[in-house]
């Protein structure tokens, strides 16, 4: 009893600390100064009065950074190197300032000289090395990065099975046990890989490829074993000048392969274009449109699977807002039209989603690494064109999907994180065959490279 109440107290303390950390991180952005700030103006004028006075220059540089005027800080610190070139701390700060501006060659020069001076070590060398490694990653002509995830998952409905009777040729029948909902444990493994080849263009154009792999093996319900490969690839560039110069376009090719129960479910391939439009500092709208062919393959588990073969057209919009450096909100909507070889498989679908992504200070071990919490919710409505005679000749299928998710990523070091995920999925459908709900909980380890 004592142990339980002590544990509860600790948990309450940790939850409170987490809430405070999140609140603090959300408030961070509110205190930013500007170059119109009287304190900044006074420091600027003091800097003009005492243009070679180190404390005055550092004070001005500090306020300039807070006001977002990184060039002002650079000007002040470079002046210090004209007074004395042997200042590794100043070189380090200049390197970081240029890095923050995206001027990686200038940053590299200062950081390497800071690291190599031999003074101020390791306080200078360690951060310099960290930034140099990141510069190396960002300036490679070809770069490959990504994240691997492995874990154990429990699902209250691993096979997305319906509850109660289902419809077959218009009659209510009791489904076989392997179709009814079944809870199960399983293992999941996933990878998200991004390849990028810098085309050397002034607009930073690059060929980008995103490859996702996903696999789940259930401990008992083998019919819910899945494997998925998803690829998006294409060149990204900014074809516009003037006010639209920051808009980027990415025409892309997409391909997908899905297998269920170790049997091919479908192949898909298509093409589209994505436009990324910065609408204000810290906010972007992404518009995507694509067409895709899905080639379903009949198999022993799904003998009429090929009836679903068809073409889809998708348009989607997403608005991403960086509320603070630690808090990002994403709102998205999409619209899909699917036309299959069998009209009963044709459908319209509309979806909306929202996600809140918060990074916050470690509330337990007070490490310097930020935890990440992602809350997400999405809803989708789908309406089919015609009844499926093999299911219910009198009723047209329609369904509403609801998904709520929570992901917590706790970094162990720069590469590894412990990940915990909880999700609830619910589908309401006009025909019982398609209705289900499921709670899932997953815990695992992710490795980012």
Partner 1 sequence: MSRTCLISLVACVAMASPAAANVGVTSVTSGDPLGQPPAQAERILRVGTDIQANELVTTKDDDRAHIVFLDGTALTVGPNSSLVIDRFVYDPNHSNGVLSVNMRRGVMRLVGGALTKTGDVRITTPSGSLGIRGGIVVVEVSDTGATQGTFLFGHALTVTGGGKTVVATRPGSLIQMEPGRVPSPPTILPVRGLGSTALLEKPHGQAGVGSGAPASSGANLRSTIEGAFDRSQFSAGNSKVPPQTHDQKTAYQAQQGHPTGHAPQILALTRLSKVASEPISKHNTSSGRPRTPSHH
Q: Which of residues 299-358 bind partner 1 (CB under 8 A)?
A: 301-305, 307-308, 320-322, 325-328, 330, 355, 357
Q: Rule CB under 8 A: say whether 96 interacts with partner 1.
A: yes
Which residues ranging from 379 to 408 are in contact with partner 1 (CB under 8 A)?
A: 389-391, 403, 405, 407
Closest CA to 379 of 407, 356, 360, 355: 355
Our CB check for partner 1 shows the closer of 293 and 448 to be: 448
Total residue length of the chain: 449
Question: Cα separation of 328 and 317, whole Å?
Answer: 16
Question: Cα separation of 440 and 355, whole Å?
Answer: 18
> How far is C-alpha 429 from the chain's CA centre?
30
Closest CA to 270 of 287, 286, 251, 296: 251
Phi–psi pair at 50, nearest 5 degrees: -125, 75
Q: CB of 10: closest distance to partner 1 in angstroms?
A: 26
Figure out which of the listed residues 83, 244, 352, 364 binds partner 1, where binding follows CB under 8 A: 83
Figure out which of the listed residues 65, 67, 361, 410 binds partner 1, where binding follows CB under 8 A: 65
Our CB check for partner 1 shows the closer of 66 and 313 to be: 66
Q: Rule CB under 8 A: say whether 29 interacts with partner 1.
A: no
Q: CB of 403: closest distance to partner 1 in angstroms?
A: 7
Stretch that binds partner 1, among 2-10, 14-22, 106-114, 333-341 (CB under 8 A): 106-114
Q: Rule CB under 8 A: say whether 433 interacts with partner 1.
A: yes
Question: Cα separation of 344 and 308, whole Å?
Answer: 9
Stretch that binds partner 1, among 8-16, 26-34, 241-249, 309-317 (CB under 8 A): 241-249
Figure out which of the listed residues 18, 22, 43, 72 binds partner 1, where binding follows CB under 8 A: 72
Q: Rule CB under 8 A: say whether 446 interacts with partner 1.
A: yes
Figure out which of the listed residues 18, 21, 93, 338 binds partner 1, where binding follows CB under 8 A: 93
Q: Rule CB under 8 A: say whether 47 interacts with partner 1.
A: yes
**Residue 16: CA count within 13 A, CB half-sphere:** 6
> DSSP class of residue 306?
G
Our CB check for partner 1 shows the closer of 6 and 86 to be: 86
Q: In the block, which residue shows the tokens 């540089």? A: 61
Question: Cα separation of 93 and 98, whole Å?
Answer: 9
Question: Cα separation of 92 and 114, whole Å?
Answer: 5
Binding mask 248-287 for partner 1 (x = CB under 8 A): x---------x-xx---xx---------x-x--xxxx---
Stretch that binds partner 1, among 2-10, 12-20, 62-70, 309-317 (CB under 8 A): 62-70
Q: CB of 17: closest distance to partner 1 in angstroms?
A: 21
Cβ neighbours of residue 171 closer than 8 Å, sequence gap 6 or more: none
Stretch that binds partner 1, among 5-13, 14-22, 186-194, 309-317 (CB under 8 A): 186-194
Question: Cα separation of 1 and 330, whole Å?
Answer: 43
Cβ neighbours of residue 75 closer than 8 Å, sequence gap 6 or more: none
Q: Rule CB under 8 A: say whether 25 interacts with partner 1.
A: no
Q: Rule CB under 8 A: say whether 49 interacts with partner 1.
A: yes
Our CB check for partner 1 shows the closer of 18 and 93 to be: 93
Residue 122 preceded by cis peptide, ω within 30: yes
Question: Cα separation of 98 and 92, whole Å?
Answer: 10
């Amino acid at each position: 009893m004592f142990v339980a109440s002590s544990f509860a107290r600790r948990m309450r303390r940790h939850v409170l600390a987490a809430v405070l950390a999140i609140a603090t991180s959300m408030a961070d952005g509110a205190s930013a100064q500007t170059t119109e700030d009287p304190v900044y103006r006074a420091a600027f004028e003091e800097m003009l009065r005492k243009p070679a006075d180190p404390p005055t220059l550092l004070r001005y540089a500090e306020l300039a950074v807070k006001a977002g005027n990184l060039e002002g800080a650079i000007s002040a610190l470079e002046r210090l190197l004209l007074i004395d070139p042997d200042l590794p701390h100043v070189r380090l700060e200049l390197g970081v300032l240029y890095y923050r501006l995206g001027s990686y060659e200038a940053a590299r020069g200062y950081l390497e000289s800071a690291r190599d001076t031999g003074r101020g070590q390791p306080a200078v060398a360690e951060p310099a090395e960290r930034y140099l490694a990141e510069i190396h990653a960002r300036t490679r002509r070809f770069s490959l990065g990504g994240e691997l995830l492995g874990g154990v998952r429990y699902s209250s409905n691993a096979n997305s099975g319906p509850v109660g009777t289902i419809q077959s040729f218009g009659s209510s029948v009791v489904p076989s046990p392997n179709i009814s909902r079944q809870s199960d444990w399983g293992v999941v493994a996933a990878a998200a890989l991004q390849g990028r080849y810098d085309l050397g263009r002034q607009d930073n154009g690059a060929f980008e490829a995103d490859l996702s792999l996903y696999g789940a093996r259930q401990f008992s319900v083998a019919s819910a074993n899945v494997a998925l490969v998803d690829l998006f690839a294409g060149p990204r560039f900014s074809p516009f000048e003037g006010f639209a110069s920051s808009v980027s376009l990415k025409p892309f090719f997409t391909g997908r392969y899905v297998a269920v129960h170790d049997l091919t479910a479908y192949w898909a391939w298509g093409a589209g274009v994505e436009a990324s439009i910065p609408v204000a500092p810290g906010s972007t709208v992404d518009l995507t449109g694509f067409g895709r062919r899905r080639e379903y393959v009949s198999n022993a588990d799904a003998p009429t699977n090929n009836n679903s073969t068809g073409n889809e057209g998708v348009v989607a919009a997403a608005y991403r807002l960086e509320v603070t450096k630690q808090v990002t909100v994403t709102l998205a909507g999409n619209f899909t039209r699917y036309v299959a070889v069998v009209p009963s498989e044709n459908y319209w679908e509309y979806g909306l989603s929202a996600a809140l992504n918060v990074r916050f200070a470690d509330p337990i071990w007070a490490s310097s690494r930020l935890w990440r919490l992602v809350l997400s919710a999405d809803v989708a409505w789908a309406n089919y064109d015609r009844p499926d005679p093999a299911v219910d000749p009198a009723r047209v299928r329609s369904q509403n999907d609801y998904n709520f998710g929570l992901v917590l990523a706790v970094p162990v070091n720069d590469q590894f994180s412990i990940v915990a995920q909880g999700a609830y999925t619910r589908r309401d459908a006009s025909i019982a065959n398609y209705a289900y709900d499921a709670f899932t909980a997953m815990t695992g380890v992710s490795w980012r490279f």
